[in-house]
Amino acid sequence: MTQNTNTAKISPPSGEQNLVQLDRDPKFPRSWTDLIDSVVPAVVKSRYSPRETWKNKPFTKDDVRFFGKGLVQLQETLTDDRESALHTGKYFRNPAARSSYILFYLPLHGAKFLTLYQQHQHLLDSLTVDPPQTFRVLDLGSGPGTASLAFLAFFREKISATIPLEFTWVDPDRKILEDGEAIFNAWKTQSFPDSPATVKLVSCLLQRYERRDDFDFVLVGNVLNECGASENDEIALKRAIFPLITGTSRYGTLLLEPASKASAQRLSRIRDEISKNVGILGPCLHSGKCPLVEGRDWCHFSVHTQIPGTWFFEFSRLLGGRRDWLKFSYLWIKKGFEPPKNSQQFRRVISDPIPTKDGTKILICQPETPDIRPLFRRDLLRGSLIPVSYLENADPVRQPLNRPDRRGKSSR
């Protein structure tokens, strides 16, 4: 069956269910835990152990100490020489850094993508009503396929176990692509032996990739963060990715970036430029100018969770403590999408409480300039600015998990 991507539409549930409560705890599929605890360590050890006799043995705390040295060095590189490391991609060229990146950052960033897939599941539910012959995913700046692996786990558990998935990974580093392919194949054999899922590797700079195929969904993870900081770098990036992310993909494009000010505000600038040609599925409830595109504050979210994985926990301890918060900024867009009329009635809380000379207040997202009210990050507000909930069980809005009560200070 040939898909007509120009006419296919996302059909979110009627009413207010399409407005997402962003502090919902993510639920990790069992297959994801198997990937993080079993497949990833085994593949990394088989490909990066310096001795042949180590490669087929179980992953142990001795391996944590061995690979942890590369992780500490990677952290130091990204802290002390971040601009050079990210812009040149040299951290992927070093085997020690590359293997450590897979062991720690694949679980961390994958958990962020899983969270967003779950929070916006209604955007993909129509697949069960109008299933394609093959669901095709383009993963730009894929690295080891982090966003795609998370999507495979989510898709197989929540959407369909029978619809074939076809992934295209685009990244300039061939070795990290091959590592990801090895992980993908080993995991598929272990957790999805009957799954019709395939992956195609494209090793090239995004600026040189020409999108010739129709895709149902486009994923872009940490690409803006790894682009140079100059104005010319941003112009070049826009020229490269705009044609790739604003096409007629049936389920649009999801861009995910770190919660840093630079990345989030760069994402806001891109959002303002493309919002004239695409509809915004999340997190924005309006298409007006982003109020946080410049200035002291920026649009980002924090979700409390416990990322699964025995070895991820051990590597986290090595870096100084557990990772209990998923922090990110993101944008989900689709050409031709029109938000429900009732979404214009709502506003989203986009900050923690801010001390001011007039007392503690909160930022509320609205076009041009954020409003200031005494509410809390990630709340959704309607008309009279009374908090409302869009959780499935229709409970009252939950207070964020990083706050013991509505008057307390953040525990972070």
Q: Name the residue among 156, 166, 75 with its Cα closest to residue 114.
A: 156
Query: Distance of CA 209 to CAs 218, 333, 377, Å?
Result: 14, 20, 38
Q: Identify the pLDDT of residue 56.
A: 85
Residue that has been written with the tokens 């409480």 in this structure: 353
Write out the chain's pLDDT in tens, 412 residues.
333 333 334 444 333 444 565 656 678 999 999 999 999 999 999 999 888 888 889 999 999 999 998 888 888 777 655 555 444 456 677 888 899 999 999 999 999 999 999 989 888 888 878 888 999 999 999 999 999 999 999 999 999 888 999 999 999 999 999 999 999 999 999 998 888 899 999 999 888 898 877 899 999 999 988 877 677 877 888 888 888 898 888 899 999 999 999 999 999 999 999 888 889 998 988 888 999 998 888 999 988 888 888 999 999 988 887 788 899 999 999 988 877 666 667 778 887 777 877 777 788 888 887 777 665 566 666 654 444 333 222 222 333 333 333 333 333 3
Q: Fold for domain 30-341?
A: Rossmann fold (3.40.50)
Helix axes of 174-191 and 95-119: crossing angle, nearest 10 degrees: 60
Q: Name the residue among 335, 332, 315 with its Cα closest to residue 249.
A: 335
* Rg of the chain in Å (alpha carbons): 21
Q: Which helix (H) or strand (E) holds 40?
A: helix 40-48
Q: Name the residue among 232, 245, 301 with its Cα closest to residue 275.
A: 245
Q: Identify the pLDDT of residue 37.
A: 94
Q: Identify the pLDDT of residue 110.
A: 96
Could you write out the DSSP letters of every residue in 210-235? ---S--SEEEEESTGGGS-SSHHHHH
Q: Which helix (H) or strand (E) holds 396?
A: none
Angle at 285 between CA 398 and CA 382, to 5 degrees: 55
Could you write out the DSSP letters of every residue in 118-185? HHTGGGTGGGGTS--SSEEEEEET-TTTHHHHHHHHHIIIII-SSS-EEEEEEES-HHHHHHHHHHHH
Q: Identify the pLDDT of residue 241.
A: 86
Residues 6+ apart with CB under 8 A from 407: none
Q: Identify the pLDDT of residue 20.
A: 60
Q: How many of the other CB atoms lie within 10 Å of CB of 221?
A: 27
Alpha-carbon distance of 141 to 89, in angstroms, equals 11
First to last CA, the chain: 51
- For the chain, what is the total number of helices (H) and then of strands (E)? 11, 14
Alpha-carbon distance of 161 to 152, in angstroms, equals 10
Q: Which parts of 281-356 fold into alpha helices (H)?
A: 310-318
The structure tokens listed for 243 are 């044609």
Q: Name the residue among 327, 332, 324, 379 with its Cα closest to residue 351.
A: 379
Q: Identify the pLDDT of residue 325.
A: 87
| Range 379-410 burial, b when 16+ CB lie within 10 A, else e | bbbeeeeeebbbeeeeeebbbbebbeeeeeee
Q: Identify the pLDDT of residue 382.
A: 63
User: SS3 of 209, please?
Assistant: coil
Q: Identify the pLDDT of residue 91.
A: 65
Q: How many of the other CB atoms lie within 10 Å of CB of 253?
A: 25
Q: What are phi and psi of 197, to 5 degrees?
A: -125, 135
Q: Identify the pLDDT of residue 375.
A: 59
